[in-house]
Amino acid sequence: MSFVIDRSEIRLHGNPVSYYEAGSGPVILLVHGITSCKEAWRAVMPALAERFTVVAPDLLGHGGSAKPRGDYSLGAYASGLRDLLAALGHERATVVGHSMGGGIAMQLAYQFPERVERLALVSSGGLGREVGLVLRAATLPGAEWVLPILTRRGPRDAVVGAGHVLNRLGRRTRADVLGTARGLASLRDESARRAFLHTARSILDAGGQRVSARDRLYLAEGMPTLIVWGERDPMIPVAHGLAAHEQIPHSRLELFPDAGHYPFEEDPERFVDVLERFIRDTAPSSYDEEEIRRRLLAGAPA
């Protein structure tokens, strides 16, 4: 069965939010990463829509959604996704977050656990300090002057061309090169660059990621959690996924040996199969205020 995936738009708090929605059944919310957009999920949405209702929004500051001056913290993004689900009439969802979207997914589960049935973290941010040099550079003084130059066609083509060379040398995957190209292209607009810098500086500094969920992972004991990572990820090391798997009780880990930062694009069929099996094999989380209280009082394991 094939599904037509049409772009839709809704206004939330006065801002237009662009999203895809397709299929029927239990809800899967797909959350993209920084400089990305809902288009990143096109390779997996049709197959997932055969069994699920799939919602893939453009986060504020990205894609076809508004790019206002405002709050681009993980908490603000999580609140926006809660509001989107409510406005679309969806009480709960399995939340799949890629890169920064993984950090947002964890924040959504932390702030609004009653809204999240399961978590799937894909090459996720928020699980360690290390991150790619280009994102760290965005936090440096003067980045607002460099970005307009870097995103012009000539410099942009040079960066992408270097990526293709690294791809031929086996240092980068094709999906990583395409992801870099899409990311640079998305920043041609001044409002998108402004939103990107606000977002990057809310979660990163020159040394790497400064927002971490690791001290709260023990709270995820009752949340079914899938961790997916490409073993050749040049942006966020696979070691972050391995460590999170050790820290999150009963989590499931799936490594894609030949994939980089975009395993769902490198091998969409396997990604869909892994996600569907995870949903099939796990019961939705049940929110228990008293259980959360017990874990908070007991504290994180030493």
Catalytic status, residue 99: yes
**Where are the extended beta strands (E) located within the chain?**
7-12, 15-22, 27-31, 53-57, 93-98, 116-122, 204-205, 208-209, 225-230, 252-256
- The domains of the chain, with CATH numbers, are 7-131+210-298 (3.40.50.1820)
Tell me if residue 98 is catalytic.
no
Check if 198 is active-site: no
Identity of residue 169: L
Q: What is the mean pLDDT of residues 69-98?
A: 96
What whole-number percentage of the chain has pLDDT above 70? 89
What are the structure tokens assigned to 34, written together? 């920084």
Residue 95 β-bridge partners: 29, 119
Least confident of 65-74, 165-174, 235-244: 165-174
Q: Where is 83: in which H helix or E strand?
A: helix 74-87
Share of the chain above pLDDT 90, in %: 66
DSSP string, 86-114: HHTT---EEEEEETHHHHHHHHHHHH-GG
pLDDT reported for residue 159? 47
Q: What is the pTM for the complete model shown?
A: 0.92
Is residue 156 pLDDT above 50, yes or no? no
Rounded to whole angstroms, what are the CA distances from 21 to 3, 27, 86, 267?
10, 10, 14, 22
Options 18, 36, 65, 99, the catalytic residue: 99
Query: What is the per-residue pLDDT for 149?
Result: 61
